[in-house]
Amino acid sequence: MARSLPDGPSDDVAVSQTSVDLPQGGTVRPMTRWGDPVMHRVAQPVTSYDEGLRSLVADMVATMYAADGVGLAACQIGVDLAVFVYDCPDEDGVAHRGIVCNPVLELPEGKDRLLDDGEEGCLSYPGAFVACPRPDFARVTGEGLDGSQVGYEGTGLFARCLQHETDHLFGTVFADRINDRARKKLRKAMENAADEYPLDWPVGVDPQHSGAGQHAD
């Protein structure tokens, strides 16, 4: 998921107790764009928690930071696998960092379901943001990098991130969740920013915070 304000992650923030160290040393890969078939189908489940998965996740982390994102799914670097990474603040500014394989999303229902109609953007449709109403709280369960059971929950931008990245792994992009008028606005913004995002972006971009995952985030 794209960061609406390009200020990059920071060491000088509180970090959630559930955060994990993100693998470092990965290679920045080109961002796969909407329209590529891998972006619009259900991802294959993760079944092997091995060095190959760790290497992939390290590349995802490097690519997320180079693109100044707050989350990234494997399909966004062209890999058909149900895993996403994130480094995202919640509504209180607390940083959350983690890895989720085979996510299952849980959202509030009934009177507990309150919508946040804030703006949303996607690294695979760069430079464009529009309002996208989503529940203001989300919980995701799944497996971590070693296959152990994990569960994360949060509010604000972090809740939006958990929903956005899980959507990717089920073949949904956030444009699927907005009306035609908002979709047209989103497309116009993307087209206006296209020159800033060549097809190999963010390859060649220095990650603003290459060591973030080593600081308990």
Mean pLDDT computed over every residue of the chain: 92
pLDDT digits (tens, 9 = 90+) for 134-161: 999 999 999 999 999 999 999 999 999 9
pLDDT number for residue 13? 84
Instruction: State the pLDDT at residue 215.
Output: 24
From residue 16, how far is each of 10, 69, 152, 190 by CA, in Å?
Answer: 14, 18, 10, 33
In the predicted structure, residue 9 carries a pLDDT above the cut 70: no
Q: Which pLDDT value is given to residue 3? A: 84
Indicate which residue of 91, 120, 153, 165 is catalytic: 165
Q: Is the pLDDT of residue 211 over 70?
A: no
Mean pLDDT on 93-120:
96
Answer CATH for 37-194 from 4.10.520.10, 2.60.120.20, 3.30.110.30, 3.90.45.10? 3.90.45.10
The question of whether 165 is a catalytic residue gets the answer yes
Q: What is the pTM of this model?
A: 0.91
Domain ranges within the chain, ordered by starting residue: 37-194
Q: What is the DSSP string of 113-133?
A: --EE--EEE-TTSTT-EEE--
**For residue 150, what is the enclosing H or E element?**
strand 149-155
Query: What's the CA gap between 32 and 128, in Å, rounded?
Result: 16
pLDDT of residue 205: 85
Q: What is the pLDDT of residue 116?
A: 95
Is the pLDDT at 213 greater than 90? The verdict is no
